[in-house]
């Protein structure tokens, strides 16, 4: 993609304190909260028991819908990565948000034919994939360079907000109006709240508002000469031939199986481990609270310490959470386990985006991150189905919890072994040869 030249902005003293990138962070948080991650990963488990009660579908059959959604992600996400590397992220996010909201509204009309449920999950993912973290991570690291850890933490914390508010909100709507009203509410939120925010706020890069990454102004001696933004980094083909990429790939796949798969069954799992069904949705909000706190803490640590060690250390929390809930079921242990899962999930997308930039640069970031996101989805697809099937097979989630601990620990080992960063390869700001 050709570098885009811009003139240094004329900034008043009052305006210098407000960098437009902070509005980008806010819009990203809103989009991620109610988009693919917030809705399908954190809120969808609230529909499992009501759908089972009404249509007599097994938990394994319902989990297959999530598996199909993750499988669809494997196909469409690489195409999304190519698109946003070439054309930017604003249009894909906006179109996907509208489609995502519209399809959620159509879930209102589900009937006992489970084929319609499966078709809906496929379309929800295929047309709504632009609302995933692939788009938003690419957007945030374009707007921020020196403070990208903090930007990722704040922007992607929208998923934590979703995990905090959506399970109890959806459970509350289901209890009072039914699951159909809950699907309709989620769809309308995307259409009437998220889509307008994206349209009014999101811009592809700082050049679109006559600014620079991090909001930093050029040096005084640069005068009015245009400034070009040159994305640096390795080519996609070179990246996927490195040992670093494959270590990240294995870790991401295993975390998808363990964390994403387990969270897709979180409310039924809590009930199975001794939590009252009425309070399971409220307790699940601990997951979102811990995701938010973990993301903010992770952003601070990533900007100051060696990221692989930060990630590996924090990922030990869900290992202990899996083991604790498997050995000692009960509401107190369940609450601590949710906090540990939140730490792992809060770390996953922040650290993955940060590590991709540090090891591979910006040049092919969309494709690299999309590829790893696909692996996370493959893991989530397998994990979601296995989570539901394990209950159908053993009438318990104990085996799932032990397997989750093992998979997460292996991911810890691969993450810790990533090694030193290569030569810096972020956004390179250089003076254009053309006079103003």
Residue 103 has pLDDT above 70, yes or no: yes
Q: What pLDDT does 5 receive?
A: 39
Mean of all residue pLDDT scores within the chain? 80
Considering just the CA atoms, what is the radius of gyration of the chain in Å? 21
Of 16-20, 174-178, 260-264, 340-344, the poorest mean pLDDT is in 16-20
Identify the band that residue 105 occupies on the pLDDT scale cut at 50, 70 and 90: very high
Of 21-35, 150-164, 404-418, the poorest mean pLDDT is in 150-164
Q: How far apart (Å, rounded) are the C-alpha atoms in residues 34 and 42? A: 10
Q: What pLDDT does 74 receive?
A: 80
Q: Can you say how many angstroms the Cα of residue 430 is from the centroid of all Cα atoms in its chain?
A: 32
Please check whether residue 276 is in contact with residue 263, taking contact to mean a CB–CB distance below 8 angstroms.
Answer: no
Angstrom distances, CA of residue 76 to CA of 126, 220, 250, 362: 6, 45, 21, 21
Residue 433 has pLDDT above 50, yes or no: no
Beta bridge partners of 6: 227
300 C-beta neighbours (distance < 10 Å), count = 14
Tokens read off for 137:
């991570």
**Residue indicated by tokens 């899962």:** 341
Angstrom distances, CA of residue 179 to CA of 101, 228, 235: 16, 51, 46
Q: How far apart (Å, rounded) are the C-alpha atoms in residues 49 and 51? A: 5
Identify the band that residue 409 occupies on the pLDDT scale cut at 50, 70 and 90: very high
Angstrom distances, CA of residue 394 to CA of 61, 272, 294, 301, 387: 16, 12, 33, 41, 11
Tokens read off for 431:
């003076």
* Mean pLDDT score, 29-47: 85
Residue 131 has pLDDT above 80, yes or no: yes
Q: What pLDDT does 436 receive?
A: 32
Answer with the residue of higher pLDDT: 356 or 163.
356
For residue 218, the 8-state DSSP code is: P
The top-scoring range by mean pLDDT among 257-266, 395-404, 409-418 is: 409-418
Residue 428 has pLDDT above 60, yes or no: no
* Mean pLDDT score, 371-386: 80
Q: How far apart (Å, rounded) are the C-alpha atoms in residues 111 and 68? A: 19
Domains of the chain plus CATH, in order, are 20-208+229-431 (1.20.1250.20)
The per-residue b/e assignment along 261-298, b for 16 or more CB within 10 angstroms, e otherwise, is bbbbbbbbbbbbbebeeeebbebbbbbbbbbbbbbbbb
221 C-beta neighbours (distance < 10 Å), count = 6
Q: What pLDDT does 232 receive?
A: 60
Please check whether residue 232 is in contact with residue 357, taking contact to mean a CB–CB distance below 8 angstroms.
Answer: no
Summarize pLDDT for 273-292 with one digit per residue, the tens. 777 776 676 676 677 677 77
Q: What pLDDT does 13 receive?
A: 37
Summarize pLDDT for 59-82 with one digit per residue, the tens. 778 878 877 887 888 888 888 888
* Mean pLDDT score, 280-307: 75
Residue 298 has pLDDT above 60, yes or no: yes
344 C-beta neighbours (distance < 10 Å), count = 27
Residue 183 has pLDDT above 80, yes or no: yes
Answer with the residue of higher pLDDT: 227 or 306.
306
């Amino acid at each position: 993609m050709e570098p885009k030249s811009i003139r240094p902005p004329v900034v008043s003293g009052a305006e210098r304190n407000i960098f437009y990138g902070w509005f980008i962070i806010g819009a990203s948080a809103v989009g991620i909260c109610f988009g693919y991650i917030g809705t399908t990963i954190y809120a969808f488990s609230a529909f499992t028991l009501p759908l089972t009660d009404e249509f007599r579908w097994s938990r394994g059959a319902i989990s297959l819908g999530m598996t199909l959604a993750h499988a669809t992600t494997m196909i469409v996400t690489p195409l999304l990565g190519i698109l946003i590397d070439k054309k930017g992220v604003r249009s894909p996010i906006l179109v996907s948000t509208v489609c995502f909201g519209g399809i959620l509204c159509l879930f209102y009309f589900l009937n006992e034919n489970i084929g319609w449920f499966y078709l809906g999950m496929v379309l929800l993912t295929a047309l709504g994939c632009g609302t995933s973290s692939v788009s938003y991570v690419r957007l945030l690291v374009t707007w921020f360079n020196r403070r990208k850890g903090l930007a990722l933490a704040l922007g992607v914390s929208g998923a934590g907000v979703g995990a905090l508010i959506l399970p109890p909100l959806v459970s509350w709507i289901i209890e009072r109006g039914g699951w159909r009203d809950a699907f309709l509410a989620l769809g309308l939120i995307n259409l009437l709240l998220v889509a307008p925010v994206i349209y009014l706020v999101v811009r592809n890069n700082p050049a679109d508002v006559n600014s620079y990454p991090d909001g930093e102004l050029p040096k005084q001696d640069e005068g009015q000469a245009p400034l070009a933004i040159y994305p640096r980094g390795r080519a996609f083909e070179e990246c996927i031939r490195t040992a670093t990429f494959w270590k990240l790939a294995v870790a991401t796949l295993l975390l998808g199986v363990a964390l994403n798969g387990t969270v897709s069954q979180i409310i039924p799992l809590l009930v199975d481990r001794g939590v009252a069904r009425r309070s399971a949705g409220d307790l699940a909000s601990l997951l979102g609270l811990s995701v938010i706190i973990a993301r903010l803490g992770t952003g601070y640590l990533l900007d100051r310490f060696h990221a692989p060690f930060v990630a590996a250390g924090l990922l030990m929390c869900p290992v202990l959470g899996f083991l604790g809930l498997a050995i000692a079921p009960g509401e107190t242990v369940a609450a601590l386990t949710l906090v540990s899962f939140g730490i792992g999930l809060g770390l996953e997308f922040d650290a993955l985006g940060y590590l991709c930039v540090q090891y591979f640069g910006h040049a092919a970031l969309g494709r690299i991150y999309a590829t790893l996101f696909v692996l996370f989805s493959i893991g989530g697809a397998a994990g979601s189905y296995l989570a539901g099937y394990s209950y159908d097979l053993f009438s318990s989630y104990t085996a799932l919890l032990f397997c989750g601990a093992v998979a997460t620990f292996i991911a810890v080992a691969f993450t810790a072994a990533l090694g030193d960063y290569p030569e810096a390869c972020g956004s390179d700001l250089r003076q254009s040869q053309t006079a103003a």
